Structure 1
Amino acid sequence: MTSQLRQLALCKQGLALPQPFGAGLSGTRSAIEHLGYVQIDTLSVVERAHHHVLWSRVPAYNPSHLNQLISEQHIFEYWYHAASYLPMRDYRYALPNMACIRDGENRYYNNVDKRLMKKILARVKAEGASRLRDLDQGSKGKGSWWSQAPGKRAVEKLFMQGDLMVCERNGMEKVYDLAERCLPEGVDLSVPTPVEYAAYLFDTTLRAHGVFTWKQLLHLKTGKTMRDAMREVVDERIETGVVKALGSTGASNTYVDINALEQTPTVGCALKVLSPFDNLVIHRDRLSSLFEYDYRIECYVAAPKRVFGYFCLPILYGDKFVGRIDCKAHRADQRFEIISLHLEDGQLDRESFFPALTDELQKFADFNKCPLLDESVIEKLRRRRSLTSGL
């Protein structure tokens, strides 16, 4: 049963079959709409998480697709459990959080200079889409607000409460414009009830994962109102036969998509090197329970306490996580470095695994625009279970 659940999870995530969402720009849009969100991350040791996640699922993916989809008003940036790209069709479900920010219910966004916010809004309205550094064209001295925390926090609050939207990114630099210029005509602006919001979270998780936990449904969502609404939705979905509760997966309060489970195809032995922020692995408890894979990213761990490396990437092979690899893209000299590689399964068929790993790493290196891949590290690993290069 566990293997079947894993295969269901991989199929729902678009990691089991070739071109599950199509290719190129349309495939990128379909992937985001199916997954419900793609997390944005600033770390650039290798290609950033939002690009890595989409590259793993969409053939012919190009990072420029995200700006194009924003300009075409098919997706938008906001907060899911973290900064994310979201389908524009789901815009109304961001409205409750925007209202909380506007009403001062989030402590981080209190004590923001309201006069400065009005000044910024007026400037964007008059001058059009603007970067943060564009919003001050006067004094560039120490007192200039744009380079100080108050100005940045004012822009962030205007974004979080829905007055400004990101209309473009150049690398990680955001360009802002008025929300009224970024939203498509006819977009639904009705504020969802708690039950409607819970149903949105449930349906998104059901569609993107197939098998999931109660904790996953309410990830970073707090309060009795939200818990009660989600319980109402879950009970209704169980009663109507959409999902059933499982008691033997190693985790309590686990649910599975009944129809999808019966139709899940067998997963082959494809190999994927995934982002630490990939939708499949971001819920660490579920990852441990379902895949028996304990994982955490170690860039937030003090160097002496790291076990696997600063930015180790999970290695998925078939329906199992079999190891992790720490890589770095040296873009100046187009070299892709393998810093360390650790395998977990001593029974791994190395004759098939290593050619698949080498092929995937070369493709990933090319995507990072660092085609020079040092395969000697992989060759050494054929004879050892783990390896740290340079030692």
Structure 2
Amino acid sequence: MTAPTPPAEAELSLTEARDIAVAASLPAAGFPDVSGALAHLHAVQLDSIRTLARAHQLTLTARVPCTTTQAVDNALNNGPEPLAFDYPAHALALLPLADWPLWAFRRRATRRRCEYPDQQTRTALLDRIERDGPLSLRQLRDGAKAGAGWDWSPTKTAVEFLVWSGELASTRRTNGQRLFDLAERCIPAAFLSDQASDDACLTELLTHAGAALGVATTDDLADYLRIPTPVAARILPDTRLASVRVEGWKTGWADPQALTGTAQPHRVPVFLGPFDNLIWYRPRVQRLFGFAQVFEAYKPPASRQYGYYVCPLLADSRLIGRADFARSDTTLTIQRASLEADAGPQANTFFAQACRTLAVANGQTRIELADLAADTTADQAALHHAVVNAEAASAACSPAPRRRHKTHRP
């Protein structure tokens, strides 16, 4: 009896793969609400830097029409039921509540780690939270000397491990601070399960990652979940993802629905936050877009090539530039900007449009340009001129008079 012939692998050009990847992460129609975006991405990274906005706010406002960063947090924290829980998926991230059972493999692994808190420490923390209700880390530290940034105190270490193990959970915030509660009190009973095997968890999670990425290598999919690549390689044949060939790649995997060609990629110019899902994995960004994604906030100022909080510019399914942003209550400030050599003739217009969109999403009414350096090139001057014109056009179309903002013209 002749063995059945396996289906031929789809073959994609790099341009096709790029369109599929952008359409999967940022579909042209966006998502109807924050819950819908979370349900598709399955993880939205968190970060404490707020020079422009919080990382999760930027990721979600790029995908949910007619929203602002304030609306994002309102949806997450003030609804009748929580939408997400915090968990170390791809770094610390917001995950939809329905995904709680799928991270049982990591909760079990956490309890086997040598850093897992001892029984006495666990009991003391859990008893206090059971008695006093949801508490922030600041409250749990009880006035003890608290570290900042990456300085993990013993209390923070214990709390984080209890979150990773699933004994504590965080589904709400107050004044930007996570509130920690017993998992059985804040995770709905319908989701509060650790019954799935490790392989069953990973099969489902890799399928989700494939849908969120559209098309990806084994490394890309492993990075999405922060699991070892050999583990992903073993599990992937059991998922519903299709094996594909992509120009210049080795083996690739694609969501079957992404191969139908029905989804349209995001075409409106948009600045992506530096922790956006589309640009998480630098080798993937280089492979797909030929774009060197870097994050330089933790470098000394003199060592930064592009700036402190730099956002890449996505336009027409390509990454064509970047800008270093800061903001005040009413003003979005462009500290530094640059375009790629192959950005194209519309790049300046795309840049200006994306600046206006970002300002609106963040609740700023004005755009300010940093002073131009004496050695500014003609290309940079043209870029700044486009932003000035866009700002002037926006002011002219405003339905109510407002005080004109002074910008620096080249």
TM-score (norm. length: structure 1): 0.83
Once residues 365 and 4 of structure 1 are traced to their aligned partners in structure 2, the CA distance between those partners, rounded to angstroms, is 31
Residue 287 of structure 1 and its aligned partner are, at CA, apart by: 1.2
CA shift digits 1:279-326 (9 cap, x unpaired): 001011111111111111111333222111111110001111100000
SS in structure 1 opposite 2:179?
strand
1:8 to 17, 20, 27: 20
Secondary structure, aligned partner of 1:275:
coil
Residues 128, 377 of structure 1: CA spacing in aligned structure 2 closer, same or farther, 3 A cutoff?
A: same
The DSSP-based 3-state class of the residue aligned with 1:295 is: coil
Contact 1:5–1:261 (CA<8 Å) still a contact in 2? no
Change in Cα spacing, 1:182 to 1:267, as seen in structure 2 (3 Å) is: closer
Q: Counterparts of 2:195 and 2:217 in 1: how far apart (Å)?
A: 26
CA displacement 1:152-200 (0-9 Å, x = unmatched): 2222222222111113213431111111110112225133323212212
Inter-CA distance 390–161: structure 2 relative to 1 (3 Å threshold): farther
CA contact (8 A) 1:7 1:16 kept: no
Q: 1:33 to 1:377 in 2, by over 3 A?
A: farther
Q: CA 1:341–1:17 in 2, change beyond 3 Å: closer, same or farther?
A: same
Query: Which among 56, 62, 65 is matched to residue 75 of structure 2?
Result: 65
Which residue number corresponds to residue 360 of structure 1? Answer: 354
**Secondary structure at 1:218 match in 2:** helix
**Unaligned residue ranges in structure 2 (runs of 5+):** 1-12, 385-407
Distance 1:390 1:113 in 2: 62
Cα distance in structure 1, aligned partners of 2:145 and 2:213: 50
Q: How is 1:47-126 mapped onto 2 (pairs within 5 angstroms)?
A: 47-61=53-67, 62=71, 63-68=73-78, 72-103=81-112, 105=113, 107=114, 109-110=115-116, 112=117, 114-126=119-131
Give yes or no for the alignment of 1:321 onto 2:327.
no
Give the equivalent residue in structure 1 for 2:338.
342
Structure 1 portions without partners, runs of 5+: none
Partners of 2:253 and 2:358 in 1: CA distance: 34
Displacement after TM superposition at 1:269 (Å): 3.9
- 2:278 is paired with a residue whose SS is coil
Does residue 128 of the first structure (1) align with residue 133 of the second (2)? yes
Q: Distance in 1 between matches of 2:189 and 2:270?
A: 39
1:54 offset after TM fit, Å?
0.3
Q: What CA distance in whole angstroms lies between the structure 1 residues aligned with 2:99 and 2:137?
A: 27
Aligned-CA RMSD value: 3.1
- The alpha carbon displacement at 1:377 in A equals 7.2
Equivalent pair of 2:83/2:171 in contact (CA under 8 Å): no
Shift of 1:268: 6.7
Match of 1:260 in 2: 258
Are 1:8 and 1:264, in contact at CA under 8 Å, matched by a contact in 2? no
1:172 matches 2:176: yes
Alpha-carbon distance in 1 for matches of 2:155, 2:192: 31
**In the comparison of the two structures, how many residue pairs are matched?**
362
Aligned in 2, Cα 1:148/1:345: closer, same or farther, shift over 3 Å?
closer
Give the match's secondary structure for 2:94: strand
Whichever residue aligns with residue 244 of structure 1, its letter is S
Q: Shift of the alpha carbon at 1:124? A: 1.2
Q: CA deviation at 1:131?
A: 1.9
Match of 2:154 among 143, 150, 174: 150
Q: TM-score, normalised by structure 2?
A: 0.79
CA contact (8 A) 1:39 1:85 kept: yes
Mapped to 2, the partners of 1:373 and 1:318 lie a distance apart of 23
Give the 3 Å change call, closer, same or farther, for CA 185–99 of structure 1 in structure 2: same
Deviating more after overlay: 357-366 vs 303-312: 357-366
> Is the 1:96–1:191 contact (alpha carbons within 8 Å) kept by the matching residues of 2?
no
Secondary structure of the residue that 1:358 maps to in structure 2?
A: helix
**Comparing 153-162 and 87-96, the one that deviates more:** 153-162
Deviation readout 1:207-243 (Å, 9 max, x if unpaired) = 1111001101222313xxx835x44443345xx7x51
Find 2:43's aligned residue among 37, 42, 54.
37
Moved more, 43-52 or 337-346: 337-346
CA contact (8 A) 2:82 2:171 kept: no
1:113 shift after superposition: 5.7
Q: Give 1:86 deviation, angstroms.
A: 0.7
Deviation at 1:142, TM superposition (A): 6.5
Q: CA deviation at 1:93?
A: 1.9
Contact 2:28 2:264 in 1 (8 A): no
C-alpha displacement of 1:330:
2.6
After the TM superposition, which residues 233-382 of structure 1 pair with which residues of structure 2 at under 5 Å, given as runs? 233-237=235-239, 242-246=241-245, 248-265=246-263, 267=265, 269-331=267-329, 334-346=330-342, 348-350=344-346, 353-374=347-368
TM-aligned CA distance change 1:390 to 1:118, over 3 Å: farther
Corresponding letter in the other structure for 2:345: D
Cα distance change, pair 183–257 in 1 and its aligned pair in 2 (3 A): closer
SS class of match (2:307): coil
Residue 42 of structure 1, CA deviation: 0.7
Q: Aligned to 1:211, which of 215, 235, 245?
A: 215
Decide whether the 8 Å contact of 2:140 with 2:155 is kept in 1: no
The share of aligned pairs that are identical, in percent, is: 25
Structure 2: distance between partners of 1:390 and 1:178: 56
Hey, what does 2:388 align to over in structure 1?
none
Shift of 1:136: 6.3
- Secondary structure (helix, strand or coil) at the match of 2:161 reads helix
